[in-house]
Chains A and B, each alone.
Chain A
Amino acid sequence: MQGNGFKVGAVIFFLALSAWYLFPSFRGLSLNNRLGGMSQEERVDYERDNFSTIESIKEKSLNLGLDLQGGMHITMEVGLRELISELASERRDEAFDEVLAAADARSEAENISLIDAFVDEFENRDPDASLSRYFRSEEITRRSSNSEVTQYLQVQGADAIERAMQVIRNRVDRFGVTEPSIQTQGSRRIVVELPGIDDPERVRALLKGTARLGFHLMADPGELNSSLQRIISYYEVDIAPPADSLDVGEEEINEEAESDTSFDVSQLLAETDDLDDAGNALLDVLILIPSGQNPVAFGEVAAQDTAAFNALIADPEVQAMLPRDIELRYDANPSSVSGSEYFPVLAVNRNIELTGEAITDARADFDPQTNQPLVDMEMNSEGARIWSRLTGANVGKNVAIVLDGVVYSYPTVIGQISGGRSQITGLASQEESEDIVTVLKSGALPAPVEIVEERTVGPSLGVVARKAGFTSLMVGLTIVVLFMIVYYRAGGMVADMALIINIIFIMGILAGFNATLTLPGIAGIVLTIGMAVDANVLIFERIREEQSTGKTLKASIDGGYSKALSAIIDANITTFFVGLILYSFGVGPIQGFAVTLMAGILASLFSAIVFTRIIFDYAVIGRRMSVNFG
């Protein structure tokens, strides 16, 4: 028993750690059960009251892959070729297009970056030619070397991905998906995962379109305030809003897709909200802003109330109460108060005064005097003309910068701006100025994104897969557990205990590393069950061999463990390597399989070598029991 204190400690420690990581998943399960038993109305109230708890449970729970819960997995590719073309713009010539086409073919064939291939092809064609002939910017002049231009292109390429991410994130936020995931993959791909989506056509259409950036005027504060009062009193008297289709005018139908999609996300929520009239339905979700603080804002809405607010505002009669041509848009930057996020609602004119194509460049900078962050923005000549007229006529008013229907900034016009160079000042942080630059550029340099891979699993199929995985796991486990007891008797029972602990460890490792459980992942666990007993089989066979030479039980156990060890380690390390390679080359579900395979090996090594040994030592040395190895 000597020296086992550490082993016992380790087993307890890892079990406790697994339990700690798995606890949120269990809470998640019981939460789902509780929500399932509630009526729609209770459920909405419960979700509202416990918003932050539910969010945190969801965040920490074991993630289920899209194949198990249904949803969409989309890989998108940013069109670097179009970006390079766009950057060269009017300086492009025939030679340029040929080089670019050749580079595109080569980057595909040889799996190298398009920019490297482009520069290489260019230099191959004419070693003395200068790339700076085609590209011109703040940093690139006629005398810039080819390597400087290469670097510039690489920065632009990285920026394009960044902008595409921003645009995609912005759009995904409006699907109302609970846990969307957006990640870059390699140098030009973006992977979007949307659990529980049941309308793939809409997602495809929305993700693919190029970003639309526009400058809009905003509502007159006086008009806005009186319409706000009218809408509040509309909900005060609580007229059940008649959904009269005749009221919906032509304009409403022509409204941009994203605004009505965001409004229909949760009609149900709104309907139940109207029924419980504890107070004013609107003021339940809308926080008014003290007068004078932000005259173009309608109010603020907490993140969890946005769906309910959207539904209230979607009422045609309410829409009619808004000032002419004004629509309500969220601010992209929520204010954060004690862990909850509040989104300002801004009143923006629906007419686009100037589109993002007018912008030629934008940079984040600092005011040389005050050292405050600011954004420099440049426009082309036509844009500058419109901008000059617009700013001249609206001094003292706000201009909203709207990307895909979300307001990113709404600076106040200080004076007429002619010449096309403007500054946005009064920003809170450098981060904010960089965000605005990203937004401004996504209108200026629209690098097209294309869907190159899509995997969609309907929710009903997800349920089928989940059941299939669970059944296989249970049946596989039962068969192996019974077999071990039949074949190795008491030894088998100890091995079975190790097997159960093993599964707890695997789940704990998955939850702890925030890995995703997929159907191939479950297959990996089931396979591990079959192979996990291997370590014990090796040990038990050795113990039997030792016993047959006439050794005592204790000596046989000692010999069995020590002699089997090298085989166990060698056999498992190689399989672990295979898991590692699968993980680095595979994608999605295959990675899920690799992760469970690796977790399974680690867990089974530990449980089969350390855990079973403790039990045998305790039984044989501690209690002087006789253990039957069949």
Chain B
Amino acid sequence: MRIFENTDFNLVGSRRRGYILSGILILLSLGAIVTRGLELGIDFRGGMEFVVESSQVLDATAVRTALTSVLETSPEVKTYSDVGAGGRDALLIRTPSEGETTEIQTMVVQGISDAFPGSDPQVIKTDVVGPRFAEDLKRGSLYAVLGSLLVIFLYVMLRFEWRFGLGAVAALFHDVLITLGIFSLLQGFLPFSLQIDQAIIAAFLTIVGYSLNDTVVIFDRIREYTNLFKTEPYKIVVNRSVNTTLSRTVITSGTTLLVVTTLFIFGGEVLRGFTFALIIGVIIGTYSSVFVATPVVVELYSRSGSARRAVRR
């Protein structure tokens, strides 16, 4: 079976359409991030999260009302799909409260069982992050993201040249920005949590790695073809490179998308936000290697006057 073989799409020629699409997506994302903001999880904000299992289905809003008076602050309450044996129902309760974990936990359990007699609430998962620790996690994540981008830029620059490095990093910013934008836009509309926590940062870095993987394969082909077809215009050489690698790009994205979707469906509630980020990231990352990273290289070449220069090997 073969798909996308010997294609001859004028991908470089239609790069303007890509710019428009990416521009719109980036503007939308920035707009969403500025106006709607990003919801930080307790990893970066500090607070407590309890998953409470109960023997009857509890209404999230009613539980929230009941707990607001007990905790003296309004907790977030969501349904939680993973539960233990016996088909019990579970809720995720998130509160910014500080203090003794055991005390707050008792208040939550007591509050629910008072409001819903016979519901037999039990805490099956607890996550507590102190404000200081949250600061450290935030700092660590920031370093991780910046560090990865820097290392990637340096590596691509070393193995290719600076124009490629810039192209790759531009594509990565594009991917992460749009994924963040989608998170911001969709938060509150999906049945699972889209809060930014450590796992989401790990997902972003994986997206970065994945998108780069795609980009590097195309760059590698451009590097090879510029040496092979020295007499042809650069744009044509680039377009040919993108077209010959297109089949691989689609196949690998396809298999990766398949497994990530598998994880999204079967991986459970804990991984849902993480895998959702990966699904978006794989799609955007594949698109950006063809329509962002490569065009940036083309633009930089045509700007720099000497339209054709041998690429360092």
Contact = CB atoms under 8 A, between A and B. Distances in A.
Contacts of A593: 202, 206
B199 A541 contact: no
A443 interface: no
Contacts of B213: 531, 534, 571-572, 574-575
Given A566-B220, A571-B216, A578-B148, A456 B126 contact: yes
A374 interface: no
16 contacts: A77-B132, A454-B101, A461-B51, A461-B84, A464-B268, A468-B82, A475-B262, A476-B258, A483-B255, A483-B258, A526-B263, A530-B259, A538-B217, A541-B251, A577-B151, A578-B206
Interface in B227-277: 244-245, 247-248, 251-252, 254-260, 262-263, 265-268, 270-271, 274-275
A578 B205 contact: yes
Interface stretch (B55-63, B138-146, B301-309): B138-146
Contacts of B129: 452-453
Interface of B: 1-2, 5-6, 51, 82-85, 100-102, 105, 123-130, 132-133, 135-137, 139-141, 143-144, 147-148, 151-152, 155-156, 159, 198-199, 201-202, 205-206, 208-210, 212-214, 216-217, 219-221, 224, 244-245, 247-248, 251-252, 254-260, 262-263, 265-268, 270-271, 274-275, 278
A367 B135 CA distance: 49
A585 B141 contact: yes
B259 A460 contact: no
A465 B210 contact: no
Given A487-B251, A567-B220, A570-B219, 14 more contacts: A455-B126, A458-B84, A461-B83, A464-B84, A464-B268, A469-B268, A475-B266, A476-B258, A487-B1, A538-B248, A566-B220, A567-B217, A585-B141, A586-B140
A537 B125 contact: no
A484 B216 CA distance: 23
Interface in A574-608: 574-575, 577-579, 581-582, 584-587, 589-590, 593-594, 597
Interface stretch (A12-20, A175-183, A200-208): A200-208
Contacts of A446: none
B128 A531 contact: no
Given A75-B133, A486-B1, A530-B258, A570 B266 contact: no
Contacts of A579: 209
Contacts of A575: 209-210, 212-213
Nearest to B130: A452
A577 B83 contact: no
Nearest to B217: A567
Contacts of A541: 245, 247-248, 251
A238 B123 CA distance: 42
Interface in A176-228: 200-201, 204-205
A586 B130 CA distance: 17
A461 B52 CA distance: 11
B258 A570 contact: no
A413 interface: no
B171 to A, nearest CB: 12
Contacts of A578: 148, 151-152, 205-206, 208-209, 212
A208 to B, nearest CB: 9
Which label, helix, strand, loop or mixed, suits the secondary structure of the B interface? Answer: helix
Interface in A58-108: 67, 75, 77, 108
A456 to B, nearest CB: 4
Nearest to B245: A541
Given A476-B263, A523-B263, A567-B216, A545 B128 contact: no
A519 B267 contact: yes
A111 interface: yes
Interface in A463-505: 463-465, 468-469, 471-472, 475-476, 479-480, 483-484, 486-487
B258 A479 contact: yes
B144 A586 contact: yes
> What is the size category of the interface that chain A forms with chain B?
35 or more
Given A538-B217, A571-B212, A581-B147, A461 B125 contact: yes
Nearest to B1: A487
Give the one of A453, A457, A484, A577 with max B CB within 10 A: A453
A283 to B, nearest CB: 41
Contacts, number: 232
Contacts of B140: 585-587
Contacts of A487: 1, 251
B151 A479 contact: no
A581 B151 contact: yes
A537 B251 contact: yes
Nearest to B86: A460
A575 B248 CA distance: 18
B267 A469 contact: yes
A395 interface: no
A573 interface: yes
Nearest to A585: B144
Contacts of B125: 456-458, 461
A420 interface: no
B156 A574 contact: yes
Given A570-B220, A585-B140, A586-B202, A530 B248 contact: no
B202 A590 contact: yes
A241 interface: no
A546 to B, nearest CB: 12
Nearest to B80: A461
Contacts of B143: 585
Given A108-B132, A472-B262, A571 B5 contact: no
A108 B138 CA distance: 13
Give the top 5 A-B pairs by smallest Cβ distance, nearest first: A460-B84, A468-B268, A530-B259, A458-B124, A585-B144
Contacts of A567: 216-217, 220-221
B139 to A, nearest CB: 6
Nearest to B5: A544
Contact of B216 (A533, A570, A594): A570
A205 B105 CA distance: 14
A472 B263 contact: yes
Given A456-B125, A578-B205, A590 B155 contact: no
Contacts of B82: 461, 464-465, 468
A201 to B, nearest CB: 5
B198 A472 contact: no
